[in-house]
Amino acid sequence: MPQLILQPIVENAIRHGIGRSSSAGRILISASKINGMVELRVQDDGSGLSPSDSSEDEGIGLANTRARLQQLYGQGARLEIQDCDRGGVVVTMNIPFHAEICEKQIPLTTLIEDDGPPARDDLRVLLSRDPEVSAIREARDGHEAVVAIRESNPDLLFQGGESAQNICHRWCSSQPTTGTQLRRLKSMR
């Protein structure tokens, strides 16, 4: 299963499902192997889809998940979002089960946005040390970053100013960075 593939789905279930309710909510995550496919389901007991929700306006998390599935599996994957009979929403993802794909490490793509070349250089050097980082794009300002995000859909975004330099110095001063550390950092944003 691709790493972090469920993260935006679960985040949406929290934010848009149970997060809208004043009472406690429930999220059920399940996985099963059916006819050579892995079926992943994330179901919440929130209020369900609003009439204005549509696949054209599904947000960045679901759009990125669809794009990753398309890149990895082409037409072999499916992502469905629907209301549950008793309230809430269920997201069902079907992906081919292949042991070699399950073990394959999916390279991370990154975007560095900072108006200062030294900060971009420091981050580029840091990220280039990690074999799990496949591409590093750079942007000098927010406008360039928006264009780059639309074009390349990066896994990680290091956005300029003091925070990007602090992250770089924190990682540079520690042991060699690994893709796992970067994924942990990604999950904190």
Structural domains in the chain, sorted by start: 7-103 (3.30.565.10), 108-188 (3.40.50.2300)
**pTM assigned to the model:** 0.51
Gap between the Cα atoms of 171 and 125, Å rounded = 11
pLDDT in tens, the chain (189 residues): 777 888 889 988 888 888 877 788 889 899 998 888 999 999 999 888 876 655 556 778 888 899 999 988 888 999 999 998 888 999 999 999 875 544 445 677 888 887 888 878 887 888 788 777 776 788 888 788 888 888 877 877 777 654 444 544 444 444 344 444 444 444 443
Q: Which residues of 136-172 are buried (b: 16+ CB within 10 A; e: fewer)?
A: bbbbeeeeebeebbeeeebbbbbebeeebbebbeebe
Rounded (5°) CA angle 180-186-189 = 150
What does the pLDDT read at residue 154?
81
What does the pLDDT read at residue 165?
47
What does the pLDDT read at residue 161?
53
